[in-house]
Amino acid sequence: MDYIQKVIEIAKNNDSSQPEFIQAVEEVLLSLKPALDRHPEYEENKILERLIEPERQIIFRVPWLDDNGQIQVNRGFRVQFNSAIGPYKGGLRFHPSVNLGIIKFLGFEQILKNSLTGLSIGGGKGGSNFDPKGKSEKEIMKFCQSFITELYRHLGQSVDVPAGDIGVGAREIGYLFGQYKRIKNEFEAGVLTGKGLKYGGSLARKEATGFGLIYFVREMLKANNDSFENKTVIISGSGNVAIYACMKAQEYGANVVAMSDSKGYIFDPDGIKIDTVQQIKEVERKRISEYVKYHPEAEYVDNQRKLWDLKCDIALPCAAQNDIHLENAEKLVENGCFVIGEGANMPCTNEAMSYFLEKNILLAPAKAANAGGVATSALEMAQNSMRLSWTFEEVNKKLDEIMVNIFKEVSEAAEEYGVPGNYVAGANIAGFIKVAEAMMSLGIV
């Protein structure tokens, strides 16, 4: 058995109940062969065995009182995966589906993503099986306070710096930061990112993941003599990443005709009115089906999975993992889709990814394409350290430059390691080499 297969077997034996984590490990490791062939010292130093084992995993009880005075108990997680190149960095997800395997897959992806940003940030991720849907403002606050009252002891601006993810936005970060500050009796702004602008947040962080995705896809299209101009785009999700991806794609001349949420999708052939989506999702926190009340010419389909049956040039999955299965991939290609830009983490199954690569579809992998969010979080940390705030234009310009660099790094790695145009392998190899080299320098730790 070769080295890669041996390490995949270790993951399968140790973590057989964590399918998403095994999926992420297989996807990454199988693409690293050219890098491992060139660097036999990685095997001697058991770099892969160490890479798939988190440095630390914290699982904790989160008790809180609901509005009826009843005690509720949730489970909290923080996986501090790899700190070879910087403090652990990665978001918190609050969603009923959260379990250790999901947090581990996200944390594992985050190691390589953060490496690709070129900034000094290691990989981590956390969250809870708490469902923010249907909770009152007070319940959200009480949950956040209880969550951070346990987790705070493991955090710090040079230790571990969480941010948002599904179900965690500026509102939740505010409550988490408020309680952290109270417990520590210290205004340690750099301990959390995605903060509100009034207390240390960065301009353009809210927009960064979506905008960054479009900057990356723009570069990928440019390298293939194409652009967003007049392209038909469909986007899954209607949360933070989806909204700002839509906005930037429209600015570049694309016609975004569909968006979704976890229940269904809207189809507006004249182009999605993104301010309406913002009102429904960011302000009212309602379902996307509300859209047709404002725009009766649009259609609502009560089946989120059917989104992928629509005809488009570019598909941007920006909702959750394993959103595009093989049959969705086949349908997309059959309908003429030739670009996939992954805004969500691991939105394509490994079978769907392989199919897209086989069909020479331009595939922008999540680790590279959605790295603009965490990169801008690192810019927020930099501003916090300097006690300065940059303008929106300054942050956005830096974000754009970072995404241009990531694309360059990814496409050059693909070329150098004999898989030109395979940005999936390019991203994995480029992200991995930096972390592996740092781990080699740091000794057996």
Single out the residue of 62, 385, 399 nearest to residue 204, CA to CA: 399
* Residue from 320, 399, 403, 410 binding ligand NDP (CB under 6 A): 320
Residues 6+ apart with CB under 8 A from 322: 20, 23, 346, 347, 348, 349
User: For residues 86 and 426, which CB has a smaller minimum distance to ligand AKG in the complex?
Assistant: 86
Q: Does 89 bind ligand AKG (CB under 6 A)?
A: yes
What CA–CA distance (Å, rounded) separates 228 from 280? 26
Tell which positions 237-256 bind ligand NDP, by CB under 6 A. 237-242
| Least distance between ligand AKG and beta carbon 311 (Å) | 30
Q: Does 304 bind ligand NDP (CB under 6 A)?
A: yes
Q: 206's torsion region: left (phi>0), alpha (psi -120 to 50) or beta? A: alpha
- State the binding string over 174-213 for ligand NDP (x if CB under 6 A, else -): -----------------------------------x----
Segment contacting ligand NDP (CB under 6 A): 31-39, 68-76, 158-166, 329-337?
158-166
Q: 283's torsion region: left (phi>0), alpha (psi -120 to 50) or beta? A: alpha
Q: Is 411 annotated as a binding residue?
A: no
Q: Does 99 bind ligand NDP (CB under 6 A)?
A: no
Single out the residue of 133, 131, 171, 124 nearest to residue 151, CA to CA: 124
Segment contacting ligand AKG (CB under 6 A): 65-73, 83-91, 143-151, 296-304?
83-91
Q: Does 262 bind ligand NDP (CB under 6 A)?
A: yes
Q: Does 181 bind ligand AKG (CB under 6 A)?
A: no
What CA–CA distance (Å, rounded) separates 84 from 427? 18
Q: Does 370 bind ligand NDP (CB under 6 A)?
A: yes
Q: Does 117 bind ligand AKG (CB under 6 A)?
A: no
Q: Which two tokens stand for residue 70?
A: 């009843």
Buried b (16+ CB within 10 A) or exposed e, 311-322: ebbbbbbbbbbb
Q: Does 239 bind ligand AKG (CB under 6 A)?
A: no
Q: Which two tokens stand for residue 169?
A: 């936005």
Q: Does 373 bind ligand AKG (CB under 6 A)?
A: yes
Q: Does 374 bind ligand AKG (CB under 6 A)?
A: yes
Task: Indicate which of ligand NDP, ligand AKG, none lies near residue 240 (CB less than 5 to 8 Å, by partner kind).
Answer: ligand NDP
Tell me how many residues contact ligand AKG (CB under 6 A).
13
Single out the residue of 11, 205, 216, 21 nearest to residue 111, CA to CA: 21
What CA–CA distance (Å, rounded) separates 80 from 256? 37
Judged by DSSP in three states, 261 sits in: coil
Q: From the candidates 46, 104, 125, 142, which is the catalytic residue?
A: 125
Q: Does the active-site annotation cover 434?
A: no
Q: Does 321 bind ligand AKG (CB under 6 A)?
A: no
Burial of 68 (0-12, 13-18, 19+ CB in 10 A): exposed
Q: Does 110 bind ligand NDP (CB under 6 A)?
A: no
Catalytic positions: 125
The residues of the shown chain that bind ligand NDP, judged by CB under 6 A, are 164-167, 209, 237-242, 261-263, 304, 318-320, 343-345, 370, 373
